[in-house]
Structure 1
Amino acid sequence: MTEIDRRHPLRHSREDVETAEGLPSTPQTRSPAYRLAFADEDFLCRDDLRPVRLQLELLKPTLLMDEAQIDSTVVLFGGARVPRPEDRDQARTETLRDLSSQYEEARRFAHLVTERSLATSGGRENVVVTGGGPGVMEAGNRGAAEAGGRSIGLNIVLPHEQAPNPYVTPELAFNFHYFAVRKMHFLVRAAAVCVFPGGFGTLDELFETLTLIQTGRMERVPVLLFGETFWRSIVNWDALLDAGTIGQDDLDLFRFVETAEDALAAMDGWHLPRTRRASL
């Protein structure tokens, strides 16, 4: 029998799961209706149970990160297709080959952030969190691991490309079905958000972050875009301003940086420092 954590005098749900598994096989016990509801995967995957699944995806990482004493995070967003420097010649475009330098910058940045976290908070504050996949995500988790610290991976089930990289701290490797809940977990502990070059997913994460800050739904934490040339070629910020669809103040919600050291200096000098954890 699985060891039971006795926090109350009532019978533990795990005991009933194990008891039910050992019942005689009869037409009644084999019926799906007889399964314990919380141990019935087919039942939990019904469309009607979507609100429960959303709640579970919100609750599980929250509880486990609280138990791991993760007080705040530094978020690294970036493309899964950005190659390691040693693999740059295999990249399918010249731009991706050039972006291999961003892999190394993300790795260095995560290393420096983690070293500082270990020295100042014992690894509880400013823990690196990525999407847990390849490319820039791998670089972030790798840099943290090489610094001797923990890092978080918020993976998601996709038909291709996304699987946990080997540098995520295993007990902080999470998997999601819902993009929306995953993005909430990226930001709820964020002390800073650092965005490296990427594709649709990275753009989605960047603009959701900026929207939440712009509308007052999230604190004004540092939002740092690595690689000004890339970002100015992808987004015509001035055209948005000229069109009047954003204001001048909105361009102050983020800053461009080029190196890990630039990013640390921007975080340290951010004029509106983070003072409390964001709320769900």
Structure 2
Amino acid sequence: MTEAPDPQDDPPPPRREPLPWSVPKDVADDPAALERVRAIMAHPAYLQADRDLDFLASDPARGTRLQLDYLKPELGLREAGIGHTIVVFGSTRIAEPAAAARRLAAAEAALAADPDDPELALHVRQARRRLENARYYDVARRFGAMFADQTDWPRPERVAVMTGGGPGIMEAANRGAFEAGARSVGLNITLPHEQYPNPYLSEGLCFSFHYFALRKLHFMHRARALVIFPGGYGTLDELFEALTLVQTRKIDPLPIVLVGRAFWRAAVNFDFLLEEGVIDAEDRELFSEAETAEEIYAAIADWYEDAGCPLLGPCRPGGPAVEGG
């Protein structure tokens, strides 16, 4: 018995006699019929649902869009055999040292032309700090390369560096993996202004999200460690969400490494939160600190050794490996 043809295959041969609905009503029977049929078919209601962009963008279709925002990256990561990720967050404004130096020179030139402008003076101060912080670009790049050296595992256990896919620290981590010959993942978010993914992401492993919530889900879904460099609102958002998920045991604990002790101790006074009684002592221990790529790597390795867990495969610290949800 032969299998019925797939509707997606080549179209079947034409009929010798056309079916009644394959041609519009004859104008000999109703001269206005053809124009009315054209008007009916031109109306958005006649569009097939999956081709009607206005419908897909409508409020009632939000549930479907949420499903699609989850499903497309999930299928792409599965197809690529990406079983686990090391997620790197950090500022988009921390550029590589040469670029930071050029931007400082431009800011100083602008201030020299108008030395009394307080906004230009602020730009110079910021550019100087960004040049000093450009060392973190090199650290993230080094870490991406170091970790890529350890990611030659078979499907579906392969581990990849994952970032938000943008510039700055994200670019640096993806670049390190790229230069080491490893694949890496980027999760871009659609924003009102034009943006571009960084050029060091693997083709086929850069995904664009509409919803921040689904993007966050994919950051955490395969994460085996979070490495968080200095950054602004977006970086702080990701940090505190991860800490909250671990604190409340919505997810199993995992290593969270804050890179740049001086920055993080100035940006967030965790000891103050502890003394105020709004977090507990064990919450203060949910993360570690590092300065160099080697320290980051060691912090992750030490965490898994202390927890008695393998880097590959889900587990609960202090207990046997368990199946993830």
Other-structure match for 2:203: 170
- 1:98 matches 2:132: yes
How many Å apart are 1:11 and its aligned residue?
2.4
| d(CA) in 2 for partners of 1:135, 1:14 | 47
Q: What is the root-mean-square deviation in Å for CA atoms of aligned residues?
A: 2.3
How many Å apart are 1:42 and its aligned residue?
1.0
Task: Give the 5 Å matches for 1:56-95.
Answer: 56-89=68-101, 90-91=103-104, 92=123, 93=126, 94-95=128-129
What amino acid is the match of 1:68? Answer: A
Is this contact kept in 1: 2:81–2:155, CA < 8 A? Answer: no
Other-structure match for 2:119: none
Other-structure match for 2:29: none
| d(CA) in 2 for partners of 1:235, 1:161 | 31
* Equivalent residue for 2:142, pick from 108, 114, 118: 108
How many Å apart are 1:122 and its aligned residue?
7.4
Distance 1:219 1:32, change over 3 A: same
Task: Give the 5 Å matches for 1:151-230.
Answer: 151-160=184-193, 162-230=195-263
| d(CA) in 1 for partners of 2:10, 2:271 | 58
How many Å apart are 1:278 and its aligned residue?
4.7
Distance 1:156 1:12, change over 3 A: same
Is this contact kept in 1: 2:83–2:156, CA < 8 A? Answer: no
Q: How many residues align?
A: 265
Q: Which has the larger radius of gyration?
A: 2
> Secondary structure at 2:42's aligned position in 1?
coil
How many Å apart are 1:14 and its aligned residue?
11
Shifted more, 166-175 versus 23-32: the winner is 23-32
Other-structure match for 2:39: 27
Distance 1:236 1:9, change over 3 A: farther
How many Å apart are 1:126 and its aligned residue?
2.5
Distance 1:174 1:239, change over 3 A: same
> Secondary structure at 2:185's aligned position in 1?
strand
| d(CA) in 2 for partners of 1:140, 1:14 | 45
Is this contact kept in 2: 1:133–1:163, CA < 8 A? Answer: yes
How many Å apart are 1:158 and its aligned residue?
1.9
Distance 1:9 1:254, change over 3 A: farther
> Secondary structure at 1:50's aligned position in 2?
helix
Distance 1:198 1:145, change over 3 A: same
Unaligned runs of at least 5 residues, structure 2? 12-22, 25-36, 105-122, 315-322
Other-structure match for 1:3: none
Other-structure match for 2:281: 248
Other-structure match for 1:20: none
- Structure-2-length-normalised TM-score: 0.76
How many Å apart are 1:27 and its aligned residue?
2.0
Other-structure match for 1:117: 151
Distance 1:8 1:190, change over 3 A: farther
| d(CA) in 2 for partners of 1:255, 1:73 | 19
- Structure-1-length-normalised TM-score: 0.88
* Equivalent residue for 1:131, pick from 164, 173, 195: 164
How many Å apart are 1:12 and its aligned residue?
3.6
How many Å apart are 1:65 and its aligned residue?
0.4
* Equivalent residue for 1:45, pick from 53, 57, 60: 57
What amino acid is the match of 1:152? Answer: V
What amino acid is the match of 2:258? Answer: L
Post-superposition CA distance 1:85-143 (Å, at most 9, x none): 1112215412212110001100000111111102x447953200000000001101111
* Equivalent residue for 2:7, pick from 11, 24, 29: 11
> Secondary structure at 1:221's aligned position in 2?
coil
| d(CA) in 1 for partners of 2:262, 2:274 | 18
> Secondary structure at 1:73's aligned position in 2?
strand
Unaligned runs of at least 5 residues, structure 1? 1-6, 16-22
Shifted more, 270-279 versus 234-243: the winner is 270-279
Q: Identity of paired residues, percent? A: 45
